[in-house]
Amino acid sequence: MSDINQFIEDEKRSLKAKLTLISGNSLSALMAERKGYEAKIAEIDAKIQDICEELVVEVGLEAARKERRSRMSGQKFTAKILEALKNSPQGISQIGISEAVEGSYGSVLS
């Protein structure tokens, strides 16, 4: 019985420590502040874009956003990895796989 009581006391201490961390934390305030900055940045980007359109100058803000790859389903990504492995009987590095499947190194890792 003392093992159970000790376990319960340890869990109580752990939960109290977590509650103290949560209640004394300014995470929500920081997240709200970040959201405000992101909105301000988007507003500035729009102003820059408007000015550049008037001047017929390309800044690259929109181009960078348009070049993002679309998400690939997990099954399709796995199939592409398997195909890359089949096409390389002598072996292939993770970087080689990521280049072959047009995915990030981190995605190939996981």
pLDDT tens, 57-98? 776 655 444 455 567 777 888 888 888 888 888 888 878 888
Q: How confident is the model at residue 19 (pLDDT cuts 50, 70, 90)?
A: confident
91: phi > 0 → left, psi -120 to 50 → alpha, else beta; which? left
Q: How far apart are CA 76 and CA 79, in angstroms?
A: 5
Give, for 32, the enclosing helix (H) or strand (E).
Answer: helix 27-55
User: 54, 45, 55, 108: which is closest to 82 by C-alpha?
Assistant: 108
pTM assigned to the model: 0.36
